[in-house]
Structure 1
Amino acid sequence: MNVFDFHDYKHCVNAWIGEQPRNGHGQLRQLALYLDINSVVMSQIFRGERELTLEQALLVTRFIGLSELERDYFLLLVQKSRAGTVELKNVLEKQIANLKESALALKNRVKHQKFTDEDRATFYSQWYYSAVRLGVSIPQLNTAASIASYLNLDRVLVTKVVDFLLQHKLIVEHKGHLDMGPQVTHVGHDSPFVNRHHTNWRLKGMQAMERVSGRNLFYTGPMALSEESTQEVRKLLIELVEKTTKKAASSDSEVLRCLNIDWFAVGNER
């Protein structure tokens, strides 16, 4: 859904609801709970003549997960609907047109293809950048709202991440649906960002340990062994990683998983 295609905020919200799973069944009720108003009032607003207050409108933008520019545009639409005079409506219409033009110019601006160190610093700063990027390859997770629900993240945060990934072509958007983009990123063992990348996902692993699940696997095995066996185990682990990545590459995208492997010296080896 493109917010800037709408001239009426109610049509915008109803269109967003229609794009949600099960055609948005239950979303209006969830929105009513989020705004702390009853469902009758909610129906009067989005299916009648009643208007949102600006405070309620701001909460709606957070519930949907709009970006800052989309939020400002949506709030202008609400102000226009609430305006009591033709003169005020005309003033707001001009502001709406200007903001829409600015958004179009930003969208059409040529993005750089090179992934800079600053970009990498952002991408590897948090686990959810790569999680969102991988998540859109799953058919059911092709919108910011569905990703936010799946990852238990705030929708505004996911929208911010999606904007970053779109800007750098790590994901693409087609007819309102997100998918993996042509741009790729890789963090090598000598990269200044590799430690942050490992740490982010190991912290997620520690959080997952708190949830008992027969589908997960955690193993910690301190051991004493020969130097020759040490090298053999390392080789086996490398082969496992290679086989796993090849298997994932050729597999359909249905779930998100993370593989963490640690093989390190305890103490000072000679």
Structure 2
Amino acid sequence: MNIVVLIKQVPGTDNVKLDPETGVMIRSGKDTIINPLDENALEEAIRIKNSHPNVKVTAVSMGPESAIKALKEAVAMGADAGVLISGRAFAGSDTIATAKALAATIKKLGPVDLVICGERATDGETGQTGAMIANYLDIPVQTYVSSVEIQQAGVVVKRTVEGGFERVEVPFPVLITVNKDINEPGFPTLAGKLRAKQVEITIWRPEELGLDKSELGLVGSPTRVVKVFSPKLARDTILHKADGTTGPVDELMKFLAAKEVL
């Protein structure tokens, strides 16, 4: 059984920055982490590997070469291999261009039974990429998954839906997006860290995926960020200091009356 886990390196929550000219997220490689929900996806893949025979887990990411660090972390956690798709042609890709590139990568990896990814990423928060990848692969997709049971010919998943849950049986191959309720991500072991140091992360460029550069990056992204700006808060502050008289209170009452609050 072959499982592909899609992981994304994202800025720490307090470090998300956009280029005001292009509307593209700035990815310097500094202060980055694995997208939290992708950690849940990786943990679930490792759980399946540890409880079933002949399971291979491959972690896949798209981004600058600094994302090798995230893939090494995935191997340290228990993944068998890591693949990075990287190159200037991918820069500025929206969810459509990203999904095309990741789908091409999964196809190149050969027959894959199960693709697992986080429900959404903390930088974009769109939750679109997983479903789009399934569309380009022409396989079923199940979203908001909080439980997975491996069957002989497919999976039974529990999906979180409005007002409760639903159980769905889906044949292989299938793509699922998981939420935080599925598990509690673990930590890499010492043996895992030592193995990660020895593992060579495979890097594929656009030409190796058979993709035309017109389908990638800003050129291949129909989504456009029209304007990026930081909201400006303007407050006129009037400060009245207590002076032992009723003056400050009287001024406050006049202000509230003028604003028709009273």
Pick the TM interval, shorter chain: under 0.3
How does the TM-score come out when normalised to structure 2? Answer: 0.22
- Structure with greater helix percent: 1
More strand by share: 2
